Each structure stands twice: as structure tokens, then as C-alpha cells.
Amino acid sequence: MRKPPVPCVLLTGFGPFPGVSRNASGNLVRTLAHRARTVLPDYHFATAVLPTDWASAPRLVAALHTRHAPALALHFGVAASAQCFRIESQARNRCRASPDAAGCLPPSLELEMHGPSIRLVTIGARAIAAALETAGYAASLSDDAGSYLCNAVLYRSLALMEHDGTCQVGFIHIPADLSKSSLTPTGAVEGALEIIKLALEPSRPVAALTSI
């Protein structure tokens, strides 16, 4: 008898972009996946560092969904204003005319012609933010993922989920410089691991979380 397929968790971060020569989210997902494979052996973890590129990033996200059919797609990015884990609750059908890492502008100020103005994440963003705080990780809930590539990737990933319906999708912003925030690099990995657990098991009791 064939074994059932191992469910996949897709973790993505970003590469550098204008003003951010080293993107902490790309480093985070690589370290996080290594840690998660040990703690959650019943899942396959796939990672990708997305190019901060208006054309390539959404296209690569679509290819990753097709290739891995993830049970959870959790995207990470940096925000200059973030001082802790910022759990995004939605993506907007908008983008600003800012150059990407290739120096290109978006072709339109809308991400999807005739697309909905807002797409809501399917992870329990509010519950996750509250559970992280209870476990000792600084976290906040956000309803504004910006209007750059973070928002664009989340909007695209949620659109792909609408066609499938079985994938949980979320986006987490972390500080651009972990050395100047309440999150240490180790705390960022351990807190992100708890986010994965909560997203995979929405009913998981808060008391079962490890704290720092």
C-alpha cells in the first residue's frame, strides 16, 4: 500500500531590494526550514528566496504552488517600521510605483485587473498574534501589508488558494534589522516556528507553546 503524500509547508522570503542590501527574511526561511524539519517531521518543508521583482516574484509563487501543492504557504518579508512579528491579515489590490531590484516599475497600479480590492489571509492572524504574545514573543496584528512586493506576493498566493481551496496562506513581516529590534535572530526562528505550528493546528492550546 502506498503511503499518503507528506503534506508540504512552503516558506518564502525575499532577496535584496533598493535600500535593503541584506534581506533578513531570506536568511530566516532557510534557517527556519532546517529547524522545522527536526521539530515537525511529518511535514515536508520547501523554501524559496523570491526575487524582489514585480514580474518574477508572483510568477515564481505560482510555480511553487503548482510544484508543491502546499498545505500551508507562509511568506516572510521585512518592513522598516516593524519592531516585532507583524502578522498580516489581508492583501490589497494595489501597488506603488516603486522600482524593484531590477530597477523596473510595476506595469499597473493594480495587481489584478478586475480582482477583488482585498483578499483575506486564511491563517488565524488575530489568534496567532495573541498566542505569540502570550508565549513571550512580541507580535502585532496588521491590516496593511504595504503596496510593494510583500503585498503583491500575498495577494497572488491568496488568489492561487482560491482556485485550490485547501491551502492556508499567511504573511509575516519581521524587522529589517533584527539587531535593532525586540527580536533576536534566534527568537525570530523560534517564534516563526510557533507561527507554523499555530497555522497548521489552529486549535492548538496556547499553553502547549514553548516560550522564550
CATH code, domain with 18: 3.40.630.20
- The whole-number pLDDT of residue 173 equals 97
Q: What is the 3-state secondary structure (H, E, C) of 36-64?
A: HHHHCCCCEEEEEEECCCCCHHHHHHHHH
Which domain covers residue 78, as residue numbers? 8-208
Any domain includes 2: no
Any domain includes 68: yes
Any domain includes 1: no
Within 8 A by CB and 6+ apart from 30, the residues are 13, 47, 49
Q: How many domains does the chain have?
A: 1
Any domain includes 91: yes
Q: Are 188 and 35 in contact (CB under 8 A)?
A: no
Report the alpha-carbon distance of residue 92 to residue 134 in Å, rounded: 29
The radius of gyration of the chain's CA atoms, rounded to the nearest angstrom, is: 16
- The whole-number pLDDT of residue 202 equals 52
- The whole-number pLDDT of residue 27 equals 93
Average confidence (pLDDT) per 10 residues, the chain, 212 residues: 77 92 92 96 96 95 95 95 94 96 94 95 96 94 96 97 84 89 88 96 44 36
Any domain includes 190: yes
- The whole-number pLDDT of residue 18 equals 86
- The whole-number pLDDT of residue 203 equals 38
Any domain includes 3: no
Any domain includes 187: yes
- The whole-number pLDDT of residue 81 equals 87
Report the alpha-carbon distance of residue 128 to residue 137 in Å, rounded: 11
Q: Are 172 and 195 in contact (CB under 8 A)?
A: yes
Q: Are 151 and 94 in contact (CB under 8 A)?
A: yes
Report the alpha-carbon distance of residue 153 to residue 145 in Å, rounded: 10
- The whole-number pLDDT of residue 178 equals 82
